[in-house]
């Protein structure tokens, strides 16, 4: 009987814990929404939206060329790399163009970025399709984001960079591309060094908290380009060290979804 | 007996939960403080302070005209729009001038801003009175701030903009003014479009995470001006859509106090 | 028996609370790490690292003079002043030079900064020693950081400023130096005024959320220089008022470790 009662109590306690935590994201259901601009939601408090005919006043204020009658809007609280990679896939797959990529200082108290990305098209169905591709792809692109209570690591890889990656980081089009990111930023410095030492790659960009490329996030972000095998090798070398170093500040960092690299 | 024990246990658990959460803000009492500079506190971890005779060294470093012997200081962790609106009312009601409005990237892990606003006067009683008006008005100005676990929405409206609104957003003095804000920023883009489409208003400013007007917060903020009825109509249209869109990422967004628009 | 059962249940509940909270920092043990770059960890999610031979690609991208073959890297999620003070001690004690000090907008949802500081040396043993000194000193330098649920206060003092303090704040070398910081920023304005009124000191810098010196943190940071007794007096005056003012927004602010000033 004691056993039974204990179990009963623990169930109650667990319920209490869940409802009192405000982090019910995992329980988030697909909410219905009848607003025509709504496309869907995804991991990282990400929402996908579309405007069929952007008002001309807004075109001007947003500094968007008027030939893009329709825009697709992607934005989330947590993540920037995953969203940029997902949009990169989306522009490959649809007739849209990247209009802007902006990084907020966010992650809900974490060390990184949130994001606002806008793609343009002449036809609304293209913008909508691009947003759908992003929402579907995002789960995968979160696979090599690893976090614990002290910080996070992020790794991205593609065999062929397209326009979103070019716009965000200045990486060469059509070449293999990799991203290595760590928070706290100190870990990122060591990962950057390890990556460039482990394979023959070109450094595309190096971002740090106070010297540009971040919105004062506590991250160092290295992006690399080059031969596909070399880029992958550099990322894998950095990933192994990163998981070990971030682990010294807390639990073993775990993937947000399923690693893809 | 089991019932009774269960209740006893749950009481203990609840106590434990409360003390272990560090979010005891709701239990915050009016604290007494004997520092002469202290005026009071208000919602959003806001404190109101006054300096009767600003030291000349500070005048210079803060870049404040020396004719303002006294300054009133308002600052909070959560909110910028509500504070600016409250200060706008305060300068209408008192003999003070707006010296500076600064936005921190804050909201305690949320997606928005905190603030630091300084008003100046020749006589300390004027600065003190202005701060008092702000602290009294803030609760109302928080009425159309709606939040859930994924983000927030903010709407502000006044029939007649004064100097704080002019200083913060460049809005025309004496005209009707409205503010539409949403986080994550993506939602703000749709609200901005909906607002300008729903009524004949002028766009005063458009702010986004990476293109100015924010301190890298995850918000899009549109400010509008024009005929009083049109401004109100634009805000109400945006508010309805905003509550629906933010709701797709979590619970139904609820007002921080009581809606006033 | 009831008593016993209740205790058993509370133990279970406490375990549950701990594992479900992700804030197990206090339980953090010295983790073993075999990465050669790893030096150690310290308070504030701080990690200390060293690179013996920085890759030339990274030298260039980080804008570091190539004569510094070795670098020491210090970075944390919470704190900037304590880290700068600790590095200041480290460069006094070792044959290293300050290469960069960058402030992230961080503190894990708090109102302040995280940091990334890099020191350079020709020999790796010097860089490693400097990092070790920082990790050992940090606990002390956190002594006059006081926090409650609404914000924090920070005070720093040294009788003789060295290169890290000069680099970070522009303070004169070899002279007594003090730092006064408060969040929310409004409190910092009053502390700055109180400090300069209470003793004959020079103002080295004044930083605020939107006017430089911060990364949009919700802080006002005043740094002062001058006669050792005067600097100390100014800090003590500000500290007393700060604890009282921040206390009006929540609990009595408590030191992160043990006050040292």
The answer to whether the CB of A214 falls within 8 A of the CB of A208 is yes
Phi and psi dihedrals of C175, rounded to 5? -100, 160
**In the predicted model, is pLDDT for residue C258 greater than 70?**
yes
Q: Which residues of B touch C211 (CB under 8 A)?
A: 63, 100, 102
Express as a percent the part of chain B with pLDDT over 70: 88
**In the predicted model, is pLDDT for residue B18 greater than 70?**
no
Q: Does B52 touch chain C (CB under 8 A)?
A: no
**In the predicted model, is pLDDT for residue A119 greater than 50?**
yes
pLDDT confidence of residue C22:
40
Distance from CA of B51 to the nearest CA of A (A): 32
Q: Does C102 touch chain A (CB under 8 A)?
A: yes
Asked whether the beta carbons of residue C208 and residue B116 sit closer than 8 angstroms, the reply is yes
Give the count of beta carbons closer than 10 Å to the beta carbon of residue B171.
25
**In the predicted model, is pLDDT for residue A35 greater than 70?**
yes
d(CA C21, CA A22): 12
Asked whether the beta carbons of residue B9 and residue C9 sit closer than 8 angstroms, the reply is yes
The pLDDT tens digits for A163-222 are 999 999 999 999 999 999 999 999 999 999 999 999 999 999 999 999 999 999 999 999
Reference C136, options C50, C11, C203, C39; nearest CA is C39
Mean pLDDT in chain C?
91
Q: What is the mean pLDDT of residues C230-254?
A: 97
**In the predicted model, is pLDDT for residue A25 greater than 90?**
no
The pLDDT tens digits for A214-246 are 999 999 999 999 999 999 999 999 999 999 999
Asked whether the beta carbons of residue A186 and residue C73 sit closer than 8 angstroms, the reply is yes
Question: Chain A: residue nearest C105 by CA?
Answer: A216
Q: Which chains touch B (3 or more CB pairs under 8 A)?
A: A, C
* pLDDT band at residue A32 using 50, 70 and 90 as cut-offs: confident
| Range in A3-12, A72-81, B177-186, B212-221 the model is least confident about | A3-12
Q: What is the mean pLDDT of residues A102-118?
A: 98
Residue at token pair 């080295």: C204
Q: Which chains touch C (3 or more CB pairs under 8 A)?
A: A, B
Asked whether the beta carbons of residue C218 and residue B13 sit closer than 8 angstroms, the reply is no
Nearest to B31 among C14, C210, C247 (CB): C247
The pLDDT tens digits for C108-159 are 999 999 999 999 999 999 999 999 999 999 999 999 999 999 999 999 999 9
pLDDT confidence of residue B32:
73
pLDDT confidence of residue B23:
40
**Domains contained in chain B, CATH given:** 2-142 (3.30.70.1710), 147-255 (3.30.70.1710)
Q: Please state whether the peptide bond connecting residue A19 to the residue before it is cis, i.e. omega within 30 degrees of 0.
A: no
Provide the chain C residues 227-246 that lie in CB contact (below 8 A) with chain B: 241, 244-245
Burial tier of C53 (Cβ tally within 10 Å: 0-12, 13-18, 19+)? exposed
* pLDDT band at residue C20 using 50, 70 and 90 as cut-offs: very low
**In the predicted model, is pLDDT for residue B1 greater than 50?**
no
Nearest to C16 among A17, A192, A205 (CB): A17
Q: Which residues of B touch C114 (CB under 8 A)?
A: none
Burial tier of C48 (Cβ tally within 10 Å: 0-12, 13-18, 19+)? buried
Distance from CA of C6 to the nearest CA of A (A): 9
Contacts of B43 (CB under 8 A, 6+ apart): B76, B79, B138, B139, B142, B256, B257
Reference C21, options B22, A182, A29, B148; nearest CA is B22
* pLDDT band at residue A13 using 50, 70 and 90 as cut-offs: low
Contacts of B105 (CB under 8 A, 6+ apart): A105, A216, B113, B114, B215, B216, B217, C105, C215, C216, C217, C218
* pLDDT band at residue C3 using 50, 70 and 90 as cut-offs: low
Contacts of A66 (CB under 8 A, 6+ apart): A56, A59
Please state whether A122 falls in left (phi above 0), alpha (psi between -120 and 50) or beta.
alpha
Where b means 16+ CB within 10 Å and e means fewer, B101-111 reads bbbbbbbbebb
SS (H, E, C) chain B: CHHHHHHHHHHHHHHHHHHCCCCHHHHCCCCCCCCCCEEEEECCCEEEEEECCCCHHHHHHCCCCCCCCEEEEEEECCCCHHHHHHHHHHHHHCCCEEEEEEEEECCCCCCCEEEEEEEEECCHHHHHHHHHHHHHHHHHHCCCEEEECCEEEEEEEECCCCHHHHHHHCCCCCCEEEEEEEECHHHHHHHHHHHHHHCCCEEEEEECCCCCCCCCCCCEEEEEEECHHHHHHHHHHHHHHHHHHHHCCCCCCEECCCCCC
Reference B124, options B90, B98, B96; nearest CA is B96
Q: Which helix (H) or strand (E) holds C98?
A: strand C97-105
State the pTM of this model.
0.89
Most A CBs within 10 Å, among C17, C20, C104, to test the A interface:
C104
Q: Give the CA angle between residues B239, B241, B242 to the nearest 5°.
A: 60
Distance from CA of C200 to the nearest CA of A (A): 33
**In the predicted model, is pLDDT for residue A30 greater than 90?**
no
**In the predicted model, is pLDDT for residue C14 greater than 70?**
no
Asked whether the beta carbons of residue A9 and residue C9 sit closer than 8 angstroms, the reply is yes
Reference B213, options B99, B76, B103, B114; nearest CA is B103
First-to-last C-alpha distance (Å) of chain A: 50
pLDDT confidence of residue B15:
52
Nearest to A58 among B193, B216, B249 (CB): B193
Nearest to B186 among A9, A28, A74 (CB): A74
SS (H, E, C) A164-189: HHHHHHCCCCCCEEEEEEEECHHHHH
Nearest to C185 among B13, B41, B104 (CB): B104
Q: Which residues pair with A38 in a beta bridge?
A: A49
Q: At what angle do helices A2-19 and C2-19 cross, to 10 degrees?
A: 40
**In the predicted model, is pLDDT for residue A26 greater than 60?**
no
pLDDT confidence of residue C134:
98
Q: Which residues pair with C100 in a beta bridge?
A: C118
Phi and psi dihedrals of A126, rounded to 5? -70, -45
> Is C242 strand, coil or helix?
helix
Q: What is the mean pLDDT of residues B4-18?
A: 55
Which has more confidence, A23 or A161? A161
pLDDT confidence of residue B242:
98
Mean pLDDT in chain A?
91
pLDDT confidence of residue C32:
73
* pLDDT band at residue A23 using 50, 70 and 90 as cut-offs: very low
Provide the chain C residues 117-176 that lie in CB contact (below 8 A) with chain B: 149-151
**In the predicted model, is pLDDT for residue A3 greater than 70?**
no
Distance from CA of C97 to the nearest CA of A (A): 17
Burial tier of B211 (Cβ tally within 10 Å: 0-12, 13-18, 19+)? middle
Distance from CA of A209 to the nearest CA of C (A): 5
Please state whether A205 falls in left (phi above 0), alpha (psi between -120 and 50) or beta.
beta
User: For residue A182, what are the CA distances in angstroms to A48, A190, B105?
Assistant: 27, 9, 21
Asked whether the beta carbons of residue B184 and residue A35 sit closer than 8 angstroms, the reply is no
């Amino acid at each position: 009987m004691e056993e039974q009662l204990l179990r009963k109590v623990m169930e109650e306690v667990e319920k209490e814990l869940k409802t009192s935590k405000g982090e019910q994201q995992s329980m988030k259901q697909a909410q219905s929404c009848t607003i025509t601009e709504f496309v869907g939601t995804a991991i990282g408090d990400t929402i996908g939206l579309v405007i069929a005919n952007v008002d001309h006043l807004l075109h001007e204020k947003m500094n968007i060329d008027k030939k893009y009658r329709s825009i697709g809007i992607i934005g989330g609280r947590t993540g920037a790399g995953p969203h940029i990679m997902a949009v990169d896939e989306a522009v490959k797959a649809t007739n849209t163009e990247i209009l802007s990529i902006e990084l907020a200082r966010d992650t809900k108290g974490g060390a990184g970025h949130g994001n606002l990305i806008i793609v343009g098209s002449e036809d609304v169905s293209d913008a909508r399709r691009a947003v759908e591709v992003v929402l579907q792809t995002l789960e995968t692109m979160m696979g090599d984001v690893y976090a614990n209570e002290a910080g996070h690591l992020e790794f991205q890889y593609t065999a062929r960079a397209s326009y979103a990656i070019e716009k965000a980081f200045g990486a060469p089009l059509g070449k293999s591309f990799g991203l290595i990111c760590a928070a706290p930023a100190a870990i990122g410095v060591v990962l950057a060094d390890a990556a460039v030492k482990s394979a023959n790659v070109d450094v595309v960009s190096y971002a740090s908290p106070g010297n540009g490329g971040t919105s004062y996030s506590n991250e160092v972000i290295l992006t690399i380009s080059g031969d596909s095998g070399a880029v992958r090798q550099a990322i894998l070398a950095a990933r192994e060290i990163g998981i070990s170093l971030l682990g010294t500040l807390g639990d073993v960092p775990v993937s947000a979804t399923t690693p893809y690299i």
